[in-house]
Amino acid sequence: MNMWSVAAMGVGAMVGAGIFALLGLVGLVAGNETYISFLLGGVVAVLSGYTYAKLEARYPDAGGLTAYFHQAFGTGRTSATLSLTYLITVAVTIAMVAKAFGAYATPLAFGNTSPLWANAFASAITILLVLLNIADSSLVGKAEVVLVGIKLAILALLMSAGTYGMMGHPLVKHATPHFLSLIGSVGLTFFAYAGFGMMTNAAGRVSRPKQTIPRAIYLAIAVVILLYAALAVIVLGSVSSADLKLHADTAVAVAAKPVLGQAGYIIVSVAALLATASGINAWVFTAMQISHAMVQVGNLPRMFSHFVWRKGTLGLLLSVAAILLAINVLDLTALARIASATFLFSYLAVQIAHWRLIDETKGSRFLVGLGLLFITGVLACFLWSTFQVQPWSLGLIVAFVVIGWFIEFFLARSKAGLRVEHGAT
């Protein structure tokens, strides 16, 4: 994989549910200031991307942030819990992106919305892309370049048509959010950028990771910032408040109707399917790399590395079962909020890890400290916003972190017991 294919994978992971599903959800909170929320999310992503680039240049490893946790916190329970929390986050993200795929596929196939069919489409695409990754991982980079090129071309068409359609017409007005609500919405928009982190997991598949990975990160984030801000203005300026409430999950496709008609709606819906499919593809690849790295250092049981078919392991099958359960039990908003919060938590931990390793990475304390401050503020506002809007999902967020800690606690006790038993014999 070269810089372009790695960057394409990052754009594929970001320009998936990030824009096709989350834009509408963010719009419900931020209104006409949605573009500001995406710009602020981009600023936080750039600061976090700086940390990732520095850490990856110093510790090129396919395990990505799990390797950074080990370097900063050792191989004990802290790094193990943080790594497992991130792996759970990736699983929730796959479920959320698949849910977005189902949200677009159902009206495109049947002309109306149906939760049952949406879940069926989401489950089917997840299984299909897991099989693709198991069969031949070399197809991942090639598939991403093709899929990203197609969906960016369609989004460019939408932006051009939307800009033309709004000429001479005032933008649709939406409610102005409270300042804390606006900052809280950055938690969702940061999630839309969070895919850049998975590019570090391709380190084992590039020839010069110290140069290639940082360049790919900056390139991917820059492209996506411009894309998100422009689309936010066009979509929120074209969709009424009533339509936004009814079709928040598919707002981007709805925005195409006034300027491109039903054909535009279909074209953008197809782009959404390609975008979300490529996002699932990229995140499955990431999950496989992280779980393999965690098994190697003993943070997951050896059973997770037992091969069932080709590159498919027992651990992957268990993960897919959990993902399918989440798809069929939780709604898109809940999955988005859970994934956003755990992403912020994980990336905050990466910033702290970088602060501890800054003498080795030769990074800027000012930029790392600024990233710490920004992510902490966004996480606090986002948790406050989640408590106001959907308090039960806040309980699930805490539960996922606690579950990760308990799993690693019992694994540590199990390993300690085995050491004692071997010592006695």
Q: What was the pLDDT predicted at 163?
A: 73
Local confidence band at 340 (pLDDT 50, 70, 90 cut-offs): confident
Q: What was the pLDDT predicted at 26?
A: 87
8 versus 344: the higher-pLDDT residue is 344
Q: Provide the residue ranges of all domains of the chain, joining segments of one domain with +.
A: 3-424
Local confidence band at 416 (pLDDT 50, 70, 90 cut-offs): low
As a whole number, mean pLDDT of residues 402-410 equals 72
Q: What was the pLDDT predicted at 113?
A: 77
Least confident of 178-182, 274-278, 312-316, 384-388: 312-316
Looking at the predicted structure, is the pLDDT value of residue 128 above 70? Answer: yes
Q: Residues 105-121: pLDDT tens digits?
A: 998 888 777 889 999 99
Looking at the predicted structure, is the pLDDT value of residue 352 above 90? Answer: yes
Looking at the predicted structure, is the pLDDT value of residue 422 above 50? Answer: no
Q: What was the pLDDT predicted at 349?
A: 92
Local confidence band at 314 (pLDDT 50, 70, 90 cut-offs): low
142 versus 50: the higher-pLDDT residue is 50
Looking at the predicted structure, is the pLDDT value of residue 138 above 60? Answer: no
As a whole number, mean pLDDT of residues 353-357 equals 93
CATH number of 3-424: 1.20.1740.10
% of the chain residues with pLDDT over 90: 12
Looking at the predicted structure, is the pLDDT value of residue 97 above 60? Answer: yes
Beta-carbon contacts of 402 under 8 Å, excluding residues fewer than 6 positions away, are: none
1 versus 37: the higher-pLDDT residue is 37
36 versus 170: the higher-pLDDT residue is 36
Local confidence band at 55 (pLDDT 50, 70, 90 cut-offs): confident
38 versus 422: the higher-pLDDT residue is 38
Average pLDDT, the chain: 79
Local confidence band at 255 (pLDDT 50, 70, 90 cut-offs): confident
Q: What was the pLDDT predicted at 253?
A: 82
Q: What was the pLDDT predicted at 327?
A: 92
State the Cα–Cα distance between residues 232 and 239, nearest whole angstrom: 11
Q: Residue written as tokens 């069932």?
A: 308
Q: Are 344 and 379 in contact (CB under 8 A)?
A: yes
Looking at the predicted structure, is the pLDDT value of residue 366 above 90? Answer: yes
Q: What was the pLDDT predicted at 124?
A: 93
Least confident of 172-181, 347-356, 373-382: 172-181
Q: What was the pLDDT predicted at 322?
A: 87
Q: What was the pLDDT predicted at 123?
A: 94
As a whole number, mean pLDDT of residues 303-327 equals 74
Local confidence band at 358 (pLDDT 50, 70, 90 cut-offs): very high
The tokens for 117 are 């069919």
Q: Residues 291-313: pLDDT tens digits?
A: 777 777 666 666 666 666 566 66
State the Cα–Cα distance between residues 265 and 306, nearest whole angstrom: 45
Q: What was the pLDDT predicted at 418?
A: 43
Local confidence band at 16 (pLDDT 50, 70, 90 cut-offs): low
Local confidence band at 131 (pLDDT 50, 70, 90 cut-offs): confident
Local confidence band at 167 (pLDDT 50, 70, 90 cut-offs): low
Looking at the predicted structure, is the pLDDT value of residue 2 above 70? Answer: yes
